[in-house]
């Protein structure tokens, strides 16, 4: 290595990272190579739903790795079948395609909708997505997203996406034309700062899309797998989407996503969709183990209860320190600050051994492990109180 290169210089620069190397994690705690511990309320961006290195995952990896890691997607494997069965049995949807991440699941949803439009809607291919949406970083999912600063990046974008205001049903109704094949949304927009879609809007969308023969695609990459206190956030709204995408928590930290769709919409044929690692035996075995743990109704009830506890504590902090609203559901919560100092607070929290996230300059987002304890919440609140007050 040339002497002027630092130990980090073999990696492309795609994120601003502090100059520390993480080596170990257990439950709500992450440790760096210097032995410094961090109380983790980010958990890989709402991924490690059972915390760091839970026994459920260690056992699943050990058992499956000793048996079969991978055999190409040309064959069925038992973990792939088990996890697909669990997902279809727990939702209103009939078939699953496994992906490596959330963006790939959304990319698949877009492809599926376009093919369905060609077959059943005279070639309609346009998709209405929401202002401030985030659906991933492939070219098509960036085009479907509405993240500040992305408009001019990697031009030209993939055509066919039109942005509408979330919670404005009349606006969607006006925008939905004969060329529209689907409406796609996050039920709680995570990256935009934890902004929930209203019940009236989502129920209205379900009726409207059915009336107009368009698909309703819900991106549950962040809200799915128990994050909001139900297995899937659409269950809070009492609606059945045509297509749902999953990612993040689905394998508790291993790279897995899923495109899940209504039987009638599943028009892929061999060759349309796929990838070397899709449905990999090791990763779907982890997903199956995580699914069993997270889908337990007792576990989900506890997510709601501990989420309400965290929300109440954040509201107390907000009142005490003159901050603004607390929003979100379950363990996907945000505290809106009275000034644009969220990034600075995240930095100071890091220096004090607490991991937080700031999706917007005035928003702190909290996405701890779903099995976070009351004591861990109390410890986080105490540290945050010191940071907000100073």
Q: CB-wise, 107 or 126, nearer to ligand PLP?
A: 107
Of residues 259, 45, 290, the one with CA closest to residue 141: 259
Cis preceding-peptide flag for 365 (omega within 30 of 0): no
Query: Residue 45 CB, nearest distance to ligand PLP (Å)?
Result: 6
Instruction: Report the alpha-carbon distance of residue 180 to residue 209 in Å, rounded.
Output: 10
In the list 103, 112, 218, 294, the residue contacting ligand PLP (rule: CB under 6 A) is 103
Q: CB-wise, 134 or 366, nearer to ligand PLP?
A: 134
101 near ligand PLP, judged by CB under 6 A: yes
The angle subtended at Cα 135 by Cα 46 and Cα 162, nearest 5°, is: 150
139 near ligand PLP, judged by CB under 6 A: no
221 near ligand PLP, judged by CB under 6 A: yes
Q: What is the DSSP letter of 157?
A: P
Q: Contact, 277 vs 117, CB < 8 A?
A: no
Residue 342 CB partners (closer than 8 Å, separation 6+): 358, 360, 361, 362, 363, 364
134 near ligand PLP, judged by CB under 6 A: yes
228 near ligand PLP, judged by CB under 6 A: no
What single string gives the DSSP state of each residue in 173-216?
HHH--TTEEEEEE-SEETTTTSEEPPHHHHHHHHHHHHHHT-EE
Q: Which two tokens stand for residue 161?
A: 């996406």
In the list 136, 196, 287, 359, the residue contacting ligand PLP (rule: CB under 6 A) is 136
**Which region among 75-83, 101-109, 172-180, 354-362 touches ligand PLP (by CB under 6 A)?**
101-109
Cβ neighbours around 13 below 10 Å, total: 8
**Which region among 12-20, 59-67, 185-193, 233-241 touches ligand PLP (by CB under 6 A)?**
185-193
Instruction: Report the alpha-carbon distance of residue 64 to residue 95 in Å, rounded.
Output: 24
Query: Residue 376 CB, nearest distance to ligand PLP (Å)?
Result: 23
CA 220 to chain CA mean position, Å:
6
Q: Which two tokens stand for residue 96?
A: 């699953």
Q: Which two tokens stand for residue 26?
A: 């257990």
Site map 17..56 versus ligand PLP, x via CB under 6 A = ----------------------------x-----------
249 near ligand PLP, judged by CB under 6 A: no
Q: CB-wise, 106 or 228, nearer to ligand PLP?
A: 106
109 near ligand PLP, judged by CB under 6 A: no
Query: Residue 143 CB, nearest distance to ligand PLP (Å)?
Result: 13
Strand partners, 252: 254
In the list 219, 242, 362, 376, the residue contacting ligand PLP (rule: CB under 6 A) is 219
Cα diameter, the chain: 66
Of residues 147, 154, 152, 113, the one with CA closest to residue 133: 147
Q: How many residues bind ligand PLP (CB under 6 A)?
A: 15
In the list 102, 193, 224, 328, the residue contacting ligand PLP (rule: CB under 6 A) is 102
Per CB under 6 A, residues contacting ligand PLP are 45, 101-103, 106, 134-136, 186, 190-191, 219, 221-222, 247
């Amino acid at each position: 290595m040339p002497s002027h290169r630092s130990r980090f210089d073999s990696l492309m620069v795609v994120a601003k990272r502090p100059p520390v190397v993480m080596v170990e994690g257990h439950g709500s705690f992450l440790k760096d190579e210097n032995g410094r511990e961090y109380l983790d309320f980010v958990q890989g961006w709402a991924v490690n739903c059972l915390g760091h290195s839970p026994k459920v995952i260690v056992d699943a990896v050990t058992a499956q790795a000793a048996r079969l890691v991978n055999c190409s997607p040309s064959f069925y494997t038992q973990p792939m079948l088990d996890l697909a069965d669990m997902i279809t049995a727990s939702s209103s949807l009939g078939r699953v395609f496994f992906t490596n991440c959330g963006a790939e699941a959304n990319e698949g949803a877009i492809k599926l909708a376009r093919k369905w439009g060609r077959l059943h809607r005279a070639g309609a291919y346009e998709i209405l997505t929401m202002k401030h949406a985030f659906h991933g970083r492939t070219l098509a999912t960036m085009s479907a997203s509405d993240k500040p600063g992305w408009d001019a990046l990697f031009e030209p974008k993939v055509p066919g996406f039109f942005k509408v205001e979330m919670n404005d049903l009349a606006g969607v109704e006006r925008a939905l034309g004969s060329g529209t094949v689907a409406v796609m949304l996050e039920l709680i927009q995570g990256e935009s700062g934890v902004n929930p879609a209203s019940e009236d809007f989502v129920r209205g969308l379900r009726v409207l899309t059915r009336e107009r023969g368009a698909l309703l695609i819900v991106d549950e990459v962040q809200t799915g797998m128990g994050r909001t206190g139900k297995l899937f956030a659409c269950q809070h709204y009492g609606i059945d989407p045509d297509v749902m995408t999953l990612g993040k928590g689905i394998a508790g930290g291993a790279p897995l996503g899923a495109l899940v769709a209504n039987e009638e919409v599943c028009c892929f044929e061999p060759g349309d969709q796929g990838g070397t690692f899709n449905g990999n035996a090791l990763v779907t075995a982890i997903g199956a183990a995580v699914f069993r743990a997270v889908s337990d109704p007792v576990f989900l009830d506890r997510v709601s209860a501990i989420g309400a506890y965290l929300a109440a504590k954040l509201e107390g902090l907000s009142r005490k320190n003159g901050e603004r609203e607390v929003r979100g559901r379950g363990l996907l919560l945000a505290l809106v600050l009275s000034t644009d100092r969220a990034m600075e607070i995240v930095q100071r929290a890091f220096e004090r051994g607490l991991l937080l996230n700031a999706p917007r300059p005035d928003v702190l987002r909290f996405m701890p492990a779903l099995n976070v304890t009351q004591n861990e919440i109390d410890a986080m609140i105490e540290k945050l109180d010191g940071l907000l007050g100073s």
